[in-house]
Amino acid sequence: MDTLKQKFGEEIILLCHEPPGLEINKEYFCHRRLLADWIELETGIVIPELSINEFGVITFEETYDLKPRIKKLIKKD
């Protein structure tokens, strides 16, 4: 997080071009979600999925949770 803050400041936005989804599949895998869940595990900072429509309305999106898989990978080290 310190590296991100040094490069981008306090207000950091992680962007992705993949649509959020409720399942992991080859067509729509979001690397941003992977980073967001890792950051949450390591720091406790929750990074929500947001979308904005053509009228500027922001909504929270439900998505898959990669934290259980990340925890398994971290334990293997």
> Could you please report the per-residue DSSP string of 16-47?
-SSPP-SS--SSS--HHHHHHHHHHHHH----
pLDDT score for 30: 74
pLDDT value of position 3: 87
Q: What is the pLDDT along the chain (77 residues), one digit of tens a residue?
A: 888 889 989 888 888 776 666 666 656 667 788 889 999 999 999 988 888 889 999 999 888 888 888 898 888 65
CB-based contact 1:43 (threshold 8 Å)? yes
Q: Does 13 fall in a domain?
A: no
Q: Give the span between the Cα atoms of 62 and 50, in whole angstroms.
A: 9
Specify the pairing of strand 49-52 against strand 58-61.
antiparallel
Range of the domain at 30: 2-6+20-76
Is 11 part of any domain? no
In this structure, is residue 14 part of a structural domain? no
The DSSP letter of residue 57 is -
